A and B are shown apart, each in its own frame.
Chain A
């Protein structure tokens, strides 16, 4: 019981981090059918920028804020310099974003050095709660809480506000939204920046969770996010939450019981989904 509870908490926490990464990917894809292979680079820049501030100021809140700002700025740069010049050409877009991913990854090594860096959770999130014989680690609960909170916030924005309406309509039919006099490019840029900020936030939250950060982490983690986007359905926001939790739990349980197969199990889930439901579990209608 103890074990299952703690593995579930682990899985949920990992799932939430993947969700933050996948949410941006899926919305960006839905809006402009751009699959941003550089998303992992934004994740890792969020992690390093945040951890750097955390080292200097010892304030985790400030680290989170800096990571988000880094994400917003990098998102703007990526959209303007990398994606905009090749609009409408999918092949060039896919090629160029992967190139940018590797540049971002190597720039990390230039800016912060190639070695792994150890990170500890802040004092107020260290330790654990004891409930009966179940031990719940505070930091993981913190990640889960933030993840759910962000999911709810974005979900409400998407469902209840005019901005959300425009974004949802854009995902379904971009041309139609444009015909109605809305500058879809601007909407896309805003969504891209928010997506990048979520990725950067995911990065900085992941740092104390895994205990170390290293440059290649971005690509590794973004592979999980891609798997999630495929399982959840390209363009589906809710789908990416469910898929992320599924992948997170599968990862956590496999890592404990059959460590060698923890990546393979997610590939297996994705394969099964691709065979029987290639449009993903939660396909956006339209």
Chain B
């Protein structure tokens, strides 16, 4: 039994590494800037969506303010690059500050609400994200308000192929890192919390510690995605704090498949492609400018009829519907 699992593990690892290798060669074949830029966006949002999956998929925590961490990463980078010289050293400090800032905020939000019912975390993150959005709009000396600003990035990151490869490497490293984490005893406890929190408590685990820790890790990874986003975009405005961003990442995670890590990557690709396609259609009919209606409707339908997402559904088919049973049991309870 263990031998089979080990074998399938290495097999899946080989597949992931193979796909990564293909993606690594890809920019030398597809040299168009806009194509490379779009795939880079997919990588960045895949990182962001994985950080969300850690909360929603593995631990069963809902955050409605994940855009906040993304925005923290984005604004920290933008402000550092704008205020100081666009050197590699400044970038490293910016990353450090962004990550620390996100860790502190997620720690505070987590410690305040994670001991209560799941609704509280959802509400408080929504409220905090609102606060950050207002702050970014009002604190004009620092953020230049709604209009945002452009800035320079370090010389070697200006090439679209370089930023593509940097994002890909970050994605692969973070993916394997998070996968390792979810398969570790720590990750098992997270899943146990998702499945049955009371029982996990009675088994002697300090559930709050685990939840706060995972929310900090998630916040940090999300803010790092924000940093990468800025490096590829070189322009910031308050839209990084909008609820739309949170909805995007929610949709990516849920469509791809919660609790799978691969799912959110797939979801990110789908949603980014859909964005691209729909914004192309905006000239055809004005309704496509209101794409949130479409997204929101898809999202509602997916939550009701397709809660396992693409990867989750495939996996449950392969494993003979045990996931399906698990979910229906959860519904009844």
Contact = CB atoms under 8 A, between A and B. Distances in A.
Contact of A99 (B62, B296, B307, B333): B296
Interface residues of A, number: 42
B33 interface: no
A219 B134 CA distance: 13
B92 interface: no
A68 B87 CA distance: 59
A267 B296 CA distance: 28
Contact of B116 (A226, A260, A278): A278
Given A37-B64, A91-B60, A110 B330 contact: no
A109 B64 CA distance: 22
Nearest to B304: A85
Given A37-B122, A82-B300, A86-B304, A264 B131 contact: yes
B130 A223 contact: yes
A86 B299 CA distance: 14
Interface in B114-129: 115-120, 122-124, 126-128
Interface stretch (A139-147, A162-170, A269-277): A269-277
Contacts of B127: 223, 226-227, 267, 270
Given A88-B331, A106-B292, A110-B287, A94 B119 contact: yes
B113 interface: yes
Interface in A218-275: 219-220, 223, 226-227, 229-230, 234, 260, 263-264, 267, 270-271, 274-275
A89 interface: yes
Contact of A107 (B293, B295, B333): B293
B6 interface: no
Contacts of A95: 62, 250, 254, 299, 303
Main SS class of interface, B:
helix
A35 B122 contact: yes
A105 B122 CA distance: 19
A88 B332 contact: yes
B134 A102 contact: no
Contact of A89 (B247, B300, B331): B331
Interface string B277-312: 000000000010010110111011001100100000
Interface in B206-244: 243
A105 B242 CA distance: 14
A92 B250 CA distance: 12
B126 A223 contact: yes
A35 B254 CA distance: 20
A96 interface: yes
Interface residues of B, number: 43
Nearest to A275: B112
B158 interface: no
Contacts of A33: 117, 119
Nearest to A262: B134
Contacts of A275: 112
B138 interface: yes
Contact of A260 (B115, B138, B292): B138
B177 to A, nearest CB: 25
Contacts of A82: 300
A260 to B, nearest CB: 5
A263 B62 contact: no
Given A37-B122, A95-B62, A95-B250, A102 B115 contact: no
A96 B304 contact: yes
Interface in A84-126: 85-86, 88-92, 94-96, 98-100, 102-103, 105-107, 109-110
Contacts of A94: 62, 118-119, 122
B142 to A, nearest CB: 12
Given A102-B296, A103-B293, A106-B293, A226 B303 contact: no
Contact of A90 (B118, B130, B299): B118
B39 to A, nearest CB: 27
Nearest to B296: A103
Contacts of A110: 287, 290, 293
Contacts of A107: 293
Contacts of B307: 92
Interface string A183-195: 0000000000000
B122 to A, nearest CB: 5
A90 B300 contact: no
A99 B331 contact: no
The 3 A-B residue pairs with the shortest CB-CB distance in the complex, in nearest-first order: A103-B296, A35-B119, A99-B299
23 contacts: A29-B119, A35-B122, A37-B126, A88-B331, A88-B333, A94-B62, A94-B118, A96-B304, A99-B300, A102-B292, A105-B292, A106-B290, A106-B292, A110-B290, A219-B130, A234-B119, A263-B130, A267-B127, A270-B124, A270-B127, A274-B124, A278-B115, A278-B116
Interface of B: 56, 60, 62, 64, 112-113, 115-120, 122-124, 126-128, 130-131, 134, 138-139, 243, 247, 250, 254, 287, 290, 292-293, 295-297, 299-300, 303-304, 307, 330-333
